[in-house]
């Protein structure tokens, strides 16, 4: 991946700026693969690092202590080139919400703009070990999101 251009929109340094917003253009050779006349985009990886539980972490006997409750919100716009249609949008849909946290994600297409929205929230800074299955309910799909791909299929002329 090579960064081509970057522009900060808001810094979230003041009470009026509630979030950090920026835009950038980059070369995504690691995330885009040409397959015949089509392209596969590993779009789920655009949300950055997510917790991926390994087999040993599936069971837990120790309570979960975190520094603070927190949320991650990503809105990613991808411009689809003319002459291509998008397949696989439903792969990005999640709607999980319980007493420990939530994961809501969706991919939508409006005109030629594909928008990925990914929101993950940890509701508390402490969870008893008995709530681990409830946490896994949103943590596991959050990690799986990284594997989600879309297909840009060349339209037939």
Q: Take residue 137 and report the two structure tokens written for it.
A: 């309910």
Q: Rounded to 5 degrees, what are φ and ψ at 139?
A: -70, -40
Identify the band that residue 29 occupies on the pLDDT scale cut at 50, 70 and 90.
Answer: confident
What number is the average pLDDT over the span 106-133?
97
pLDDT at 156: 86
Q: Tell me the pTM.
A: 0.81
Identify the band that residue 28 occupies on the pLDDT scale cut at 50, 70 and 90.
Answer: low
pLDDT at 48: 82
Over the stretch 77-109, which tens digit does the pLDDT of each residue have? 999 999 999 999 999 999 999 999 999 999 999
Q: Are 132 and 60 in contact (CB under 8 A)?
A: yes
The whole-chain average pLDDT of the chain stands at: 89
Q: Take residue 150 and report the two structure tokens written for it.
A: 């879309």
From the number of C-beta atoms within 10 Å of its C-beta (0-12, 13-18, 19+), residue 31 rates as middle
User: In the predicted model, is pLDDT for residue 5 greater than 70?
Assistant: no
What number is the average pLDDT over the span 61-75?
94
- Helix, strand, coil shares of the chain, percent, nearest 5, are 20, 45, 35
93-117 burial string, b = 16+ CB within 10 Å, else e? Answer: ebebeeebbbbbbebeeeeeebebe
More confident residue, 18 or 66: 66
- Among 17-31, 54-68, 122-136, the range scoring the smallest mean pLDDT is 17-31
Q: How far apart are CA 42 and CA 35, in angstroms?
A: 13
User: In the predicted model, is pLDDT for residue 27 greater than 90?
Assistant: no
Q: Are 6 and 22 in contact (CB under 8 A)?
A: yes
Identify the band that residue 43 occupies on the pLDDT scale cut at 50, 70 and 90.
Answer: very high
Please name which of 25, 142, 157, 148 lies closest in space to residue 87, comparing C-alpha atoms.
148
Identify the band that residue 17 occupies on the pLDDT scale cut at 50, 70 and 90.
Answer: low
Please name which of 77, 73, 93, 92 lies closest in space to residue 20, comparing C-alpha atoms.
73
């Amino acid at each position: 991946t090579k960064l081509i251009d970057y522009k900060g929109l808001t810094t979230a340094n003041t009470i009026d700026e509630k979030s950090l917003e920026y835009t950038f253009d980059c070369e995504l050779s690691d995330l885009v693969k040409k397959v015949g006349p089509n392209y596969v985009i590993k779009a789920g990886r655009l949300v950055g690092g997510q917790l991926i539980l390994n087999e040993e972490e599936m069971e837990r006997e120790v309570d979960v202590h975190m520094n603070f409750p927190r949320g991650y919100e990503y809105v990613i716009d991808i411009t689809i080139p003319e002459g291509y249609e998008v397949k696989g949008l439903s792969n990005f849909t999640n709607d999980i919400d319980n007493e420990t946290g939530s994961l809501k994600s969706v991919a939508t297409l409006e005109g030629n703009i594909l928008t990925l929205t990914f929101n993950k929230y940890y509701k508390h800074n402490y969870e008893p070990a008995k709530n681990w299955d409830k946490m896994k309910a949103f943590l596991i799909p959050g990690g799986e999101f990284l594997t989600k791909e879309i297909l840009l299929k060349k339209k037939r002329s």
